[in-house]
Amino acid sequence: MNKPFILFLSLTLLLIGSSCNDEWTEEQFENYISFKAPITNQGVSDIYVRYKGDEKTTFQQPLIVSGSKTNAQDITVHVAIDSDTLNVLNYERFQSREDFYYKELNSEYYTMPSTVEIKAGEDTSLMAIDFTLKDIDMVDKWVLPITIEDDPSYGYVANPRKHYRKALLRINPFNDYSGTYSGTALKTVMEGYENETPLVKAEIKSYVVNENTIFFYAGNIDDERQDRQNYKIYATFDETGGVTFSADNPDMNFQLNKDASYTISEQADDIRPYLLHRYLTINNIDYEFSDYTLVPNVNINYKVSGSLILERQLNTQIPDEDQQIEW
């Protein structure tokens, strides 16, 4: 290597070194304020709230400060209801199917603060939202749409990305019996065609009514039906293992043929021993009903029989029973 080239290389390295600084000591990103509310493929964030009737249940919505350095100042974050974003989501996803629209949660069911404090030296905080969900009708899909307000006088910058600055919280109240049941052992047959292949649904979703009662839709009716509210079947669980089925719409001609019962069994996971599988089985389901709206002025009668199984996975390493559930 000749001396001129060595001299050129040395000068080049010197210039590069003199232009560098200790970038790792400086902030690499903006300190944006964001919600931690990952969205599902439905465009909302599912949250699960224990149903307690008149009692309030508190959900802690996380807020975070982005950046490569710890937040150095006290921040008062302003939050508000964001109905416009929910309206846009509904139209873009469902167009004219308004029966599919998410509904903004009525103010009677929740209270939330208008500001949340993030202290200097901390990068996260929790916004406590109190829910009181007595008498909520889960035929509708309830969402609490919230946003981080942005104003130069607030002393912070809300994250410019929509799904970080805003959160569409899809409210899923639950009790010990609600959830998505396996429906492969529940058969639905049309009256007069009992020997034909029955209708079977892979999954049957149930919804909270109160602490001990759930509802699901009769037979093969599901969330796709615009008139689904006419076909609610209620199941009330007692402490002795009995389940009482009922309906409150006389037009569906509900008839119960047999008393149902339920059992609960538990099994540790083979691979993750801290994970507990809890199975709730509803046995001896046997009822009849009429689908009176599918064909105008014609009652189509069905018989439903079999069983349903609900599985819950519980992380026993978490002391709070509600938080143990892996949804």
CA–CA separation, 109 vs 142, rounded Å?
Answer: 10
Mean pLDDT of 161-170: 94
Q: What is the CATH number of the domain that holds 263?
A: 2.40.128.440
Neighbour tally for 247: CB within 10 Å: 20
CA–CA separation, 310 vs 286, rounded Å?
Answer: 18
**Range of weakest confidence among 21-35, 177-191, 205-219:** 21-35
Burial of 236 (C-beta count, 10 Å sphere; 0-12/13-18/19+): middle
- Using pLDDT thresholds of 50, 70 and 90, give the confidence band for residue 56: very high
Residue 20 included in any domain: no
Q: What integer best gives the mean pLDDT of the chain?
A: 92
Long-range contacts of 85-89 (CB under 8 A, 24+ apart): 85/145, 85/147, 85/162, 85/166, 85/168, 86/143, 86/145, 86/168, 89/43, 89/44, 89/168
Q: What would the pLDDT profile of 79-128 be if each residue is shown by its tens digit?
A: 999 999 999 999 999 999 999 999 999 999 999 999 999 999 999 999 99
Residue 232 included in any domain: yes
Amino acid (1-letter code) at residue 163: H
Task: Check whether 157 has a pLDDT greater than 90.
Answer: yes
Split into its structural domains, the chain has a count of 2
Q: Are 250 and 230 in contact (CB under 8 A)?
A: no
Query: Tokens in use for 221?
Result: 């009716």
Q: Are 291 and 221 in contact (CB under 8 A)?
A: yes
- pLDDT reported for residue 23: 45
Task: Check whether 25 has a pLDDT greater than 80.
Answer: no
Domain-ending residue, one of 124, 154, 174: 174
Query: Tokens in use for 177?
Result: 């019996």
CA–CA separation, 317 vs 282, rounded Å?
Answer: 28
Q: What is the CATH number of the domain that holds 77?
A: 2.60.40.1740
- Both 167 and 191 in one domain: the answer is no
- Both 136 and 187 in one domain: the answer is no
- Both 137 and 44 in one domain: the answer is yes
- Both 148 and 183 in one domain: the answer is no
- Both 188 and 276 in one domain: the answer is yes
Residue 2 included in any domain: no
Task: Check whether 28 has a pLDDT greater than 50.
Answer: no
- Both 135 and 238 in one domain: the answer is no
- Both 204 and 308 in one domain: the answer is yes
Q: Look at residue 285 and give its three-state secondary structure.
A: strand
Q: Are 32 and 160 in contact (CB under 8 A)?
A: yes
Residue 230 included in any domain: yes
Residue 156 included in any domain: yes
Residue 18 included in any domain: no
Domain span holding position 290? 179-324
Which H/E stretch holds residue 265?
Answer: strand 260-268
- Both 143 and 62 in one domain: the answer is yes
Query: Tokens in use for 245?
Result: 């089925």
Query: How many percent of the chain have pLDDT more than 70?
Result: 91
Residue 248 included in any domain: yes
pTM above 0.85, yes or no: yes
